[in-house]
Amino acid sequence: MTTIQVGLYFLLGAYILFSIFFCTLVLFSTFADSVFIRYLSSTHLGKPVVYHLQQVVEWLEGPKCGICLAQYWSTGDMAPRVMNCGHTYCGSCIEIFAEQKDGMVICPFCTRTHFCNTIHPLPFFSENHLLIILCSSLITVNLWKCQTCRKKYSSQDVSRTPRVYSTCGHTSCEACVESDFTQKKRVVCLTCEGRSGGITVVAENWKPHVPINYAIRDLLKE
Ligand SMILES: [Zn+2]
Ligand SMILES: [Zn+2]
Ligand SMILES: [Zn+2]
Ligand SMILES: [Zn+2]
């Protein structure tokens, strides 16, 4: 056999293995609630297999809106929008909330009230940029780093908690936001420096202005 033939056999083998893996995933996500999968996840050996397949399916499907459970898109009405309270929903759900309460959006999670326009509510809520990047790329959130300090975000370590500037929708880690505030005594986005709608606020406490980016924190699995 020549080197080329060996190479071709190798490629064919890799292709077959990948196809089997992909078919398993498709079958798994289709019959995720079947009696067989439920039986498998109750057995000692099947449990970790089912768990890991679930993780892969979840990762391939991408993040979803917590209200309508539809997958987020990177543009349009289905893009994720973050509110001042740090909670994220799809644009479509926010439009429905605004219409129901005449330009008032009450966060279904923490019940904080946000005021906007009934007909065009979306410009009042910034897109959650980090979540959009995660929707449209193959990078998992666990590998994503704070763009300022290059350290990974964490749901356990408070200083690495993802914080979102709700006026522009950019995310940085808690330690970076805090040290910038301590130096400058004002809140200004570390990514866009307030250029994309971020306002500079002089405040005693920066935390209410840069809430936790819950959608990102909840995606972190540690
Ligand atoms: Zn939604
Ligand atoms: Zn909220
Ligand atoms: Zn940082
Ligand atoms: Zn910004």
Q: How many whole angstroms from 190 Cα to the centroid of ligand 4?
A: 7
What pLDDT was estimated at residue 212? 97
User: What value of ipTM does the predicted structure carry?
Assistant: 0.94
Give residue for tokens 């606020």: 201
With beta carbons less than 8 A apart as the criterion, state whether 114 and 101 touch.
no
What pLDDT was estimated at residue 79? 95
Could you give all domains of the chain from N- to C-terminal order, each with its CATH number? 3-61 (no CATH), 76-219 (3.30.40)
* Residues 80, 214: Cα–Cα separation, whole Å: 12
* Angle between the N-to-C axes of helices 46-61 and 3-30, in degrees from 0 to 180, rounded to the nearest 10: 90
pLDDT digits (tens, 9 = 90+) for 15-61: 888 887 777 777 766 666 677 777 887 888 888 887 777 777 666 67
**Which residues in the chain show pLDDT less than 50?**
none
Q: How many whole angstroms from 168 Cα to the centroid of ligand 2?
A: 17
Q: How many whole angstroms from 126 Cα to the centroid of ligand 4?
A: 10
Q: How many whole angstroms from 171 Cα to the centroid of ligand 3?
A: 9
3-class state of residue 18 by DSSP: helix
C-alpha closest to that of 206 among 169, 151, 165 = 165
Q: How many whole angstroms from 84 Cα to the centroid of ligand 3?
A: 20
Q: How many whole angstroms from 172 Cα to the centroid of ligand 3?
A: 6
Task: Give one DSSP letter per residue of 127-171, joined into a string.
Answer: E-HHHHHHHSSS--GGG-B-TTT-PBP-SSSGGG-EEEETTTTEE
Ligand having the closest approach to the CA of 162: 3
